[in-house]
Amino acid sequence: MGRGRGRPRIEKRLEDIIEVAAAHFCQRGFAEATLEDIALELGMTRPALYHYAASKEELLMKCCDWSFEQYIEKTQNLFVEKLNGKEILKKFFLIYSELVCDDVGRCFISLSARRREAANQASPGKQMRAVNSTLSQILDQGIADGSLAGCVDKKATIAALFGAFNSLPTIIKPKSKSAGAMGARLLSVFLDGLAPGQ
């Protein structure tokens, strides 16, 4: 059934493959995921995958790069409307929550940077630093405009926020529509604080 190149957009197939592969990598881990299973779910056989990626590692890289591109695309307009830091923070983590609950979206975040560094050289570190730096900017802005507390421990805050939000997929079921809502609740925990009011 359906071989040959009959599909309108040729690149579309690669995206399908990335989507399925990313899901397998994220859910089962890189080593545990098998190309056999990925191919099966796509309705093709394993060797066909080698037309789209020269190796399992390269497939992983493509997943992560695609994932990162999505992140960039969704976050690049954060600063265009002139919101205050706190509002940008909310927007950022709404986007981040939805991204991290999506198999493709969270790919570059979840998959061990160690393995990716083996394959690729630089990008994993660079990508994570880019994400970190966006949050850092947001905090700076919030502190400057007074919408966030002035005395925040930035390093600890960044670590705590990403730690918490990266754990989202373990607390809500995958493909759940509640990613954004749960993300908002998480952020409230950080904004309000646990100390008794006043």
List of residues 6+ apart from 61 with CB closer than 8 A: 116, 119, 120
Q: Is 114 in the site for DNA (CB under 7 A)?
A: no
Task: Return the one option of a second copy, DNA, none that residue 46 interacts with (CB less than 5 to 8 A, by type).
Answer: DNA
If binding is defined by CB under 7 A, does position 10 make contact with DNA? Answer: yes
Tell me, what DSSP letter sits at residue 197?
P
CB of 60 to DNA, least distance (A): 10
What is each CA distance from 4 to 1, 44, 94, in whole angstroms? Answer: 10, 12, 41
Q: In this complex, which beta carbon is closest to DNA, that of residue 32 or of residue 140?
A: 32
- The token duo for 46 is 């394993």
Which among 48-56, 61-69, 150-158, 181-189 is the span making contact with DNA, rule CB under 7 A? 48-56
CA angle, 13 then 17 then 23, to 5°:
150
50 lies in the site for DNA, by CB under 7 A: yes
Q: Which does 36 bind (CB under 5 to 8 A by kind): DNA, a second copy, none?
A: DNA
Calculated CA dihedral for residues 51, 52, 54, 60, nearest 10 degrees: -150
**Site residues (CB under 7 A) for DNA?**
2-6, 10, 13, 33-36, 39, 43-48, 50-51, 54-57
